[in-house]
C-alpha cells in the first residue's frame, strides 16, 4: 500500500471501530427493551419492530467487525503475514459468533410472521432457540478470540510504526486483559465485563485517532 492508501484504510478502520460500538450497543439495548431482558424471541417482545431493528443492528456490527479485519490485515499483509492470518481469522470468528444470535432472532421473527406457532419443534427452530439460550457464552467466546488475535496485531502496528507507541502498547495490554477476562468468564468467574474496560476504551480512543489521522506511513 502507498502511504495515502494506508492512511485512508486507517481512517475507514477507525470509522468501523466507532460504528461497531453504536451498532452492537444500540442494537442490544433495543433488543433488551423489546423483550424486558428475556430471551430475544418474538413471543417475549413488546414490540416486534423494535426487536427486529435491534437484531438487525447487531447483525450489522458483524459486517463492521469483518471489515476491520479485512482492512487491518491488508495494511500488514506484506510485513507480518502470520500475524495478518491470525488477526483476520480472529475477526472473522468474532463476526460469525456475534452474528449467530441476531440471525436466530430474525429467523424466529420470520417464522412468527408466517404464522408458525412457537410450539413448532422443527430442527432449525430448535437450533435457533438453542443459539439464543447460549448467546452469553457465544459472546464471550467471540470476545476471547478478539483479544487473543489482537495482541500480536497491535504489536505489529507498533513495530511498523503504524500507531503511536503509547496507543499500540495500550492496545496490547488492553486486549491481553480482555482475553484473560473472557477465559475467566467462560470458566464461571463474573469478571469479564470489568476486565473488558481497558480494551474497550482502547478501541474508542484508537477509533477516534484513526478516523482523524489514519495509520502512519510505516517503517
Asked if residue 116 has pLDDT above 90, the reply is no
Domain annotation covers residue 140: yes
- Using one digit for the tens of pLDDT, what is the confidence trace for 171-205? 999 999 999 999 999 999 999 999 999 999 999 99
Domain annotation covers residue 27: yes
Query: What's the domain range around 138?
Result: 3-213
Domain annotation covers residue 160: yes
- Using one digit for the tens of pLDDT, what is the confidence trace for 100-111? 999 999 999 999
Other Cβ atoms within 10 Å of 59 Cβ, number? 21
Contacts 24+ apart (CB under 8 A), 151-159: 151/175, 151/176, 151/179, 152/80, 152/83, 152/86, 152/87, 153/72, 153/76, 153/83, 153/86, 153/87, 155/83, 156/76, 156/79, 156/80, 156/83, 156/84, 157/76, 157/215, 159/80, 159/219
Domain annotation covers residue 218: no
Distance CA 63, CA 80 (A): 24
Other Cβ atoms within 10 Å of 73 Cβ, number? 20
Q: Which residue shows C-alpha cell 427486529?
A: 52
Q: Which residue shows C-alpha cell 477516534?
A: 208
pLDDT value of position 219: 46
Mean pLDDT across 116-138: 85
- Using one digit for the tens of pLDDT, what is the confidence trace for 43-98? 999 999 999 999 999 999 999 999 999 999 999 887 788 999 999 999 999 999 99
Distance CA 43, CA 32 (A): 14
Domain annotation covers residue 192: yes
Domain annotation covers residue 203: yes
177: cell is 486483559
Query: 0.85 cut: is pTM over it?
Result: yes
**Domain count along the chain:** 1
SS3 category, 2: coil
Contacts 24+ apart (CB under 8 A), 62-67: 62/95, 62/96, 62/98, 62/99, 62/102, 63/95, 64/16, 64/19, 64/20, 64/23, 65/16, 65/20, 65/91, 65/94, 65/95, 65/98, 66/91, 66/92, 66/95, 67/12, 67/13, 67/16
Distance CA 88, CA 67 (A): 10
Amino acid at each position: 500500500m502507498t502511504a495515502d492508501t494506508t492512511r485512508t484504510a486507517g481512517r475507514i478502520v477507525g470509522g468501523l471501530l466507532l460504528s461497531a460500538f453504536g451498532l452492537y450497543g444500540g442494537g442490544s439495548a433495543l433488543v433488551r427493551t423489546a423483550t424486558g431482558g428475556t430471551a430475544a424471541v418474538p413471543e417475549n417482545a413488546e414490540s416486534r419492530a423494535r426487536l427486529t431493528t435491534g437484531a438487525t443492528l447487531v447483525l450489522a456490527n458483524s459486517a463492521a467487525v469483518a471489515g476491520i479485519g479485512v482492512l487491518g490485515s491488508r495494511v500488514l499483509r506484506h510485513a507480518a503475514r502470520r500475524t495478518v492470518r491470525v488477526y483476520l481469522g480472529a475477526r472473522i470468528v468474532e463476526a460469525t459468533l456475534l452474528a449467530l444470535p441476531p440471525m436466530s432472532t430474525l429467523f424466529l421473527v420470520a417464522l412468527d410472521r408466517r404464522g408458525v406457532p412457537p410450539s413448532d419443534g422443527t430442527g432449525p427452530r430448535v437450533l435457533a432457540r438453542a443459539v439464543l439460550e447460549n448467546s452469553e457464552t457465544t459472546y464471550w467466546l467471540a470476545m476471547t478470540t478478539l483479544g487473543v488475535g489482537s495482541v500480536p496485531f497491535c504489536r505489529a502496528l507498533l513495530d511498523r510504526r503504524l500507531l503511536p507507541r503509547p496507543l499500540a502498547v495500550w492496545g496490547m495490554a488492553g486486549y491481553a486483559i480482555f482475553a484473560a477476562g473472557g477465559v475467566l468468564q467462560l470458566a464461571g468467574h463474573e469478571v469479564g465485563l470489568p476486565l473488558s474496560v481497558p480494551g474497550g476504551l482502547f478501541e474508542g480512543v484508537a477509533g477516534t485517532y484513526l478516523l482523524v489521522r489514519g495509520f502512519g506511513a510505516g517503517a
